[in-house]
């Protein structure tokens, strides 16, 4: 599948964009703990190249991002694109599909039962924004070091934590992480914390418009509830 990823990036122009993004990082005088790349993907084109990889992207995007992460790391090291990069864990890949299949199972509707949305995959959702919060910061990535000075992991980039979709802030940054080698506490190196913008949006299903217009659906009781969306 790694070979398929490389073929797709080359054919779609994503490889050239990736090389351009790497050049910006390499030319920067700033040191980074996490190198973040946004890759646009067409699920249909990938499914034609490899059905298994296409299925990963649609139904297990976190696993798919790990495959892209491995390919990007090999490309950076092979082509010497970012001299400062040390470990694969420093690469953060965000896959952005150009579209999703036009099937009901890919539409997120909170007005339909049952709520079988347990898988962490892509959905399409439409609604009306009724409230927006202010833009605040969140931790996209952080570097941790072992507090035991004699431990090999007291330096370098062995412990990199990156925010994953659906995770809380405490999953990325806490004070109870321990070293897997010597079990000593880990401490964050604040100089390498990577911040991003987030905004909380309150939405409501578009079907509420029918209720406001006075349309009857022959149901004696119905309830309309808002849902919260995190924009990162």
Give the confidence band of 219 by pLDDT, cuts at 50, 70, 90. Answer: low
- Domains identified in the chain and CATH numbers: 1-23+30-105 (3.30.1640), 126-231 (no CATH)
**Per-residue pLDDT reduced to its tens digit, 3-31:** 999 999 999 999 999 999 999 999 988 88
**Per-residue pLDDT reduced to its tens digit, 90-114:** 999 999 999 999 988 888 877 665 5
The per-residue pLDDT for 226 is: 87
**Per-residue pLDDT reduced to its tens digit, 54-83:** 999 999 999 999 999 999 999 999 999 999
| Strand, coil or helix: 163 | coil
Written as six digits, the tokens of 149 are 């000075």
103-112, 136-145, 155-164, range with the lowest pLDDT: 103-112
The per-residue pLDDT for 215 is: 59
Tell me how far CA of residue 74 lies from CA of 77, 85, 203, in angstroms.
Answer: 5, 11, 41
The per-residue pLDDT for 116 is: 64
Alpha helix (H) residue ranges in the chain: 2-12, 14-27, 43-49, 51-59, 61-79, 169-172, 208-212
Q: Is the pLDDT of residue 208 over 90?
A: no
Task: Specify the pTM.
Answer: 0.86
Per-residue 3-state assignment (H helix, E strand, C coil) for 20-58? HHHHHHHHCCCCCCCEEEEEEECHHHHHHHCHHHHHHHH
Question: Does residue 165 or residue 46 have the better pLDDT?
Answer: 46
Q: What is the mean pLDDT of the chain?
A: 89
The per-residue pLDDT for 10 is: 94
The per-residue pLDDT for 217 is: 60
Q: Is the pLDDT of residue 165 over 70?
A: yes
Closest CA to 149 of 190, 179, 172, 192: 179
Question: Across residues 132-151, what is the average pLDDT?
Answer: 95
Rounded-to-integer distance, Cα 157 and Cα 145, Å: 8
The per-residue pLDDT for 221 is: 63
Share of the chain above pLDDT 70, in %: 93
The per-residue pLDDT for 112 is: 67
Q: Is the pLDDT of residue 36 over 60?
A: yes
Rounded-to-integer distance, Cα 140 and Cα 94, Å: 11
Burial class of residue 53, CB neighbours in 10 A (0-12, 13-18, 19+): buried
Longest dimension (CA), the chain: 73
Q: Is the pLDDT of residue 88 over 70?
A: yes
């Amino acid at each position: 599948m790694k070979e398929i990823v490389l073929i797709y990036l080359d054919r779609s122009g994503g490889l050239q964009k990736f090389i351009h993004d790497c050049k910006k990082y390499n030319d920067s005088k700033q040191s980074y703990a996490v190198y973040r790349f946004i890759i646009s993907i067409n699920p249909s084109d990938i499914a034609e190249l490899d059905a298994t990889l296409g299925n990963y992207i649609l139904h297990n995007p976190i696993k798919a991002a790990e495959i892209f992460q491995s390919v990007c790391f090999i490309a950076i090291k092979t082509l010497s694109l970012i001299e400062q990069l040390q470990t694969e864990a420093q690469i953060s890949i965000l896959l952005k599909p150009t579209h999703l299949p036009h099937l009901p199972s890919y539409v997120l509707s909170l007005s339909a039962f049952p709520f079988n949305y347990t898988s962490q995959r892509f959905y399409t959702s439409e609604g009306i924004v009724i409230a927006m919060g202010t833009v605040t910061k969140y931790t996209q990535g952080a570097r941790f070091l072992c507090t035991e000075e004699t431990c090999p992991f007291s330096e370098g980039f062995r412990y990199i934590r990156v925010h994953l979709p659906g995770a809380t802030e405490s999953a990325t940054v806490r004070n109870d992480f321990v070293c897997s080698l010597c079990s000593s506490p880990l401490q964050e190196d604040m100089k390498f914390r990577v911040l991003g913008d987030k905004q909380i949006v309150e939405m409501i299903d578009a079907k509420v418009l029918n209720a406001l217009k006075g349309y009857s659906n022959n149901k004696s009781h119905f309830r309309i509830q808002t849902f919260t969306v995190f924009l990162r």
